Amino acid sequence: MFETLQPLPADPILGLSAAYRADTNPKKVDLGVGVYKDAAGSTPVMRAIKKAEEHLCQEQVTKAYVAPVGLGEYNETVAKMLLGEDLLRSLGRRRVTVQTPGGCGALRMAADFIRKANKQATVWVSDPTWANHVPLLGSAGLGIEKYPYYDYDKHSVRFDEMLDTLQQIPVGDLVLLHGCCHNPSGADLSREQWQSVRDIALSQGFTVFIDTAYQGLGDGLEEDAYGIRLLAESLPELIVASSCSKNFGLYRERTGALTVTCTSDQSAAAAITLLAAAARANYSMPPDHGASIVQTVMSTPELYADWQEELAEMRNRINGLRSMLVSRLAESEVDTDFSFIEQEKGMFSFLGVGKEQVKKLINEYSIYLVNSSRINVASINENNVDYVVESILAILE
């Protein structure tokens, strides 16, 4: 029965890590998968996370099953981080949050949930969007369409064209937005643009679905939640898939959440039963360790303060790396203006080079980046920046 199976090509993002590991060039640089790296090129366990783990090791008294919706306290903590205390209170029981296996688990749960509400639903994703959005949501049976988003020539959001498309999207469809630090472009909506999207969502009646995986890595924990909070406060319904992979550095612990706001307490009470059933049918219950760590950090004042401090260090370091890359490129002989990289947010930006040039960077210079020319800025450091700049210069010649 398996004899006819054909191997699939490598994953466009995760496949790069395997290729990078196999490369023996001592100068190799991995600008592929979105993980934070420190000045030494490692992805450390954050200080507060380590302490919370030690605490859990000592204090946790059971490994008995958790509920399909996960740890209740964690769900409330995540909802508070996303929505803020006041909004959380005013939404009351119209809002439900469930723990999921990472942000991907949240997206997949959202897809199952959407299908239960409307089998015909189409999700409109930004063009471009994160490489896994389409397979992940599409394989759950949702229709996928694109709205214009990034202008590769102007290095900015094609906002007028985006609005033109949003104006055609009907009730029953969903528009997937990135909460902050747009992946892959790093180009975010301004506050005014979020407000315009809110106005169109209200007039058109489509449902907004936000994916947020980088809260705290753009402008700050509160600042990065602006769009989510604006829409949660003004729209009758909203879906938010969130991840603790990057801002807590919990990548492999698969720690995420799905938050849904409904028009009434009754609909939200129904929604939570559907979400619990979807979890049970897919994986029964989410893994506990990451969520327990997050809960411990967020409920222990010293750990919370230290986590916020380290998150700010990470954010500032990434922004510093953006400036460093731009200034080193400007100092080199390169003709292209890369200053846009400094304006973009989070881990990613497009280098803005073609597919052949990306191939050259990988094959001839051992610099690994996504086919679209997306780079993970957080992987650049003092030791590799000169080589990265030299190589970019070489492929542009």
Rounded CA gap, 184 and 276, in Å?
31
Q: Which of 169, 163, 172, 176 is nearest to 130 (CA)?
A: 176
Select 33 or 377, whichever has its Cβ closest to ligand LMR: 33
Q: Residue 325: name the closest of 355, 353, 291, 351 by CA.
A: 351
Catalytic residue among 30, 37, 51, 130: 130
CA dist 287 and 140 (Å) reads 21
- Phi and psi at residue 152, in whole multiples of 5°? -70, -25
Residue 246 among the catalytic residues = yes
**Measured from the CB atom, is 91 or 377 closer to ligand LMR?**
377
Which spans of this chain sit near ligand LMR (rule: CB under 6 A)?
A: 13, 33-34, 130, 132, 183
Tell me whether residue 33 or residue 260 sits nearer to ligand LMR (CB atom): 33
Residues 28, 246, 288, 345: which is the catalytic one?
Answer: 246
**Minimum distance of ligand LMR from residue 11's CB (angstroms):** 8
Q: Is-catalytic flag, 11?
A: no
Alpha-carbon distance of 31 to 216, in angstroms, equals 21
Which residues have C-beta within 8 Å of that of residue 378, sequence separation ≥ 6?
Answer: 34, 35, 36, 37, 314, 317, 318, 321, 347
Give start and end residues of each alpha helix (H) in 37-180.
47-59, 72-83, 85-91, 102-117, 133-138, 159-166
Tell me how far, at minimum, the Cβ of 185 lies from ligand LMR, in Å: 12
Phi, psi (degrees; rounded to nearest 5) at 290: -60, -40
Residue 6: is it exposed, middle or buried by C-beta count within 10 angstroms (0-12/13-18/19+)? Answer: exposed
Whether 153 sits among the annotated catalytic residues: the reply is no
Question: Considering the complex, what minimum distance in angstroms separates the CB of residue 16 from ligand LMR?
Answer: 9
CB of 128 to ligand LMR, least distance (A): 12
Give residue number: closest CB to ligand LMR.
Answer: 34
Provide the token pair at 26: 């001592």
> Of 100 and 183, which CB lies nearer to ligand LMR in the complex structure?
183
268/370 with CB nearer ligand LMR: 370
Q: Which is nearer to ligand LMR, 130 or 209 (CB)?
A: 130
Give the E-state strand segments of the chain in sequence order.
29-30, 95-101, 122-127, 143-148, 150-151, 156-157, 174-178, 207-212, 238-243, 255-261, 348-350, 367-368, 374-376
Instruction: Tell me the closest approach of the beta carbon of residue 101 to ligand LMR, in angstroms.
Output: 13
Shortest distance, position 23 Cβ to ligand LMR, whole Å: 18
Catalytic residue among 30, 112, 188, 211: 211
**Which residues are known to be catalytic?**
130, 211, 246
